[in-house]
Amino acid sequence: MTHETRPRTVKINGRRYTYLTLGEQQPLIFIPGWCDQSDDYLGLIKELSKNFKVYVPDLPNFGKSRTKEKFCFDTYSKFLTGFIETLKIKNPTIVGFSFGGIIAVDLAYKTDLKSVFLINSLGAPDMKPKLFLFISILANTILEIGSSPVHMTKILYHWFRNFLSNVWRRDFRSFQNQILYTGHPSISKVDEKITVIWSINDVIFKPEYPFILKNSFQNARLIRLPGGHFDCTLNPKKYAKIITKNGSEN
């Protein structure tokens, strides 16, 4: 088994993207959150790589994939479809975190996937009002930064850098509002089997939100765990265990 997580590049439709990969078994694509980048998830990548060949891209416009593409569902679904085709990835398990979850929903709506996991995912149209959302994000950050100050500081640094690089763009702001407050327009039409993994102490969302998300799908199950929004990066072993166990059952 390869133990080194090395950044690589792939050219899709004339644009160059960066991604990380690790492992040698069945393929799994992890889709990062909004304004996040691939190396925010090194701990989870290493745990998942024990049972999967893990691919984690820097999504268009974020991290080192500064491709200046339009912010919309079509951009991200075309990128992931091209990513899978170009790298010849067959029947991957898809894991989406937060914003990556709603992109996984979009991909599941448009293509057939083996297995889909959503971790603290966007997708349903039931977020808090903007002021309360901002306060909730701040509260969640304060709660989690004490668990691992160095790791969380790195995530926050990447998030603000990616946010500030794009916030001046109208399509960035418009798409951000869409994913937060409207959700995915075709979520009820997704017929793939979906596993929703939810951190009980994620104060960014309303307490009832994970149930709304789960019930938005035709075929979904909900697994609830202790922890905050970024718990999958702070306690990666338990998430890798759930994905490995439930992925083999699908």
How long is the chain?
250
| Structural domain span for residue 236 | 6-249
Q: Is 228 contained in some domain? A: yes
Q: Is 1 contained in some domain? A: no
Encode the chain in three state secondary structure.
CCCCCEEEEEEECCEEEEEEEECCCEEEEEECCCCCCHHHHHHHHHHHCCCEEEEEECCCCCCCCCCCCCCCHHHHHHHHHHHHHHCCCCCCEEEEECHHHHHHHHHHHHCCCCEEEEECCCCCCCCCCHHHHHHHHHHHHHHHHCCCHHHHHHHHHHHHHHHHHHCCCHHHHHHHHHHHHHCCCCHHHCCCCEEEEEECCCCCCCCCHHHHHHHHCCCEEEEEECCCCCHHHHCHHHHHHHHHHHHHHC
Q: What is the pLDDT of residue 1?
A: 46
Q: What is the CATH number of the domain that holds 67?
A: 3.40.50.1820
Q: Is 165 contained in some domain? A: yes
For 167-212, what is each residue's pLDDT tens digit? 999 999 999 989 988 889 889 998 888 999 999 988 888 889 999 9
Q: Is the pLDDT of residue 151 over 80?
A: yes
Q: What is the pLDDT of residue 79?
A: 96
Q: Is 104 contained in some domain? A: yes
Residue 8, both tokens = 């690589």
Torsion of CA 71, 35, 118, 191, to 10 degrees: 0
For 209-229, what is each residue's pLDDT tens digit? 999 999 999 999 999 999 989
Share of the chain above pLDDT 70, in %: 90
For 6-26, what is each residue's pLDDT tens digit? 789 999 989 999 999 999 889
Question: What is the reported pTM?
Answer: 0.92
| Domains in the chain, number | 1
